[in-house]
């Protein structure tokens, strides 16, 4: 009955369902090896370095300009309406609840997700993954689990950094733009008045969900690559595009769920 129902579904929907199910199985298989994590500490640290440390500069640069442009746009629009004194709260809340986690996740997909998909796809195509299986070393344990643990550890760091840099970007623009001219003290006072820790926490929860999804999807697509060099490139594209779509779709639902 279920099989007959599935046969009626259009192919793209079937592919999405198949991909989701298969990625969830990969997650379950990886989590089964959770007790092995302490002795994979070296691999975990290596992944933390790749996922977190090397992504920090680009997250910093982007968040600075996002905070700046937020202050600029809201200052420009608020000049006539008279809400320019709320720029601190506006930049603070937008960065913490929305743009900090989303931009960190988007950069993670582009910078780290693509690298993960490329590495695992090439390992799969050149039979390194098969070699691991014949050596009775589960690829999920060695290749997926340390990455999942690392992203869960590093996403809050990246997000908090994005929030802070974005807030300071906004403060600098608010101070030095002639039609805004708000002192940092009043900018941050306003930010603190309308924000509390739950706003930052809200963003951190989102970031964890996005980061985890990006790494899982990229590992899954990489490990399911078949063919040759051309397919490695195709897998990287698919991994990044799927990650970006998932970030934005999940963003809506998670935001709604957290309200």
**Residues within the interface to other proteins (CB under 8 A):** 39, 122-123, 126-128, 130-131, 133-137, 142
* Closest C-alpha to 168, from 186, 188, 151: 188
**C-beta of 59 vs 143, nearer to other proteins:** 143
Smallest distance, other proteins to C-beta of residue 131, A: 4
User: Does the CA dihedral 164-167-170-176 come out positive or negative?
Assistant: negative
Smallest distance, other proteins to C-beta of residue 126, A: 6
**C-beta of 127 vs 181, nearer to other proteins:** 127
Smallest distance, other proteins to C-beta of residue 251, A: 34
Cα–Cα distance, 36 to 40 (Å, whole number): 7
Cα–Cα distance, 46 to 57 (Å, whole number): 18
Task: Find the angle CA(191)-CA(96)-CA(183) to the nearest 5 degrees.
Answer: 30
Which tokens in the block code for residue 105? Answer: 């996740």
Smallest distance, other proteins to C-beta of residue 7, A: 17
**C-beta of 92 vs 139, nearer to other proteins:** 139
**C-beta of 127 vs 193, nearer to other proteins:** 127
Residues 124 and 225 sit within 8 Å (Cβ to Cβ): yes
């Amino acid at each position: 009955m279920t099989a007959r129902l599935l046969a009626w579904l259009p192919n793209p929907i079937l592919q999405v369902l198949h991909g989701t199910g298969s990625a969830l199985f990969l997650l379950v298989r990886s989590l089964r090896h959770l007790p092995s994590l302490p002795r994979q500490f070296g691999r975990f640290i290596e992944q933390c370095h790749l996922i977190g440390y090397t992504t920090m500069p680009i997250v910093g640069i982007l968040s600075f300009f996002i905070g700046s442009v937020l202050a600029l746009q809201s200052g420009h629009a608020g000049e006539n309406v008279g809400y320019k004194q709320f720029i601190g709260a506006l930049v603070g809340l937008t960065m913490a609840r929305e743009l900090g986690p989303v931009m960190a996740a988007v950069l993670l997909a582009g910078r780290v997700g693509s690298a993960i998909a490329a590495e695992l796809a090439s390992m799969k195509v050149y039979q390194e993954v098969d070699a691991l299986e014949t050596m009775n070393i589960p690829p999920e344990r060695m290749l997926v689990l340390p990455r999942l643990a690392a992203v869960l550890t590093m996403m809050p760091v990246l997000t908090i950094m994005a929030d802070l840099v974005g807030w300071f970007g906004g403060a600098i623009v608010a101070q030095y733009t002639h039609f805004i001219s708000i002192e940092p003290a009043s900018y941050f006072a306003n930010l603190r008045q309308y924000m509390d820790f739950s706003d930052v926490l809200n963003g951190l929860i989102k970031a964890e969900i996005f980061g985890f999804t990006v790494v899982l999807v990229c590992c899954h697509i990489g490990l399911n690559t078949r063919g040759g060099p051309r397919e490695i490139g195709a897998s990287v594209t698919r991994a990044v595009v799927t990650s970006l779509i998932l970030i934005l779709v999940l963003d809506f639902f998670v935001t709604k769920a957290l309200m």
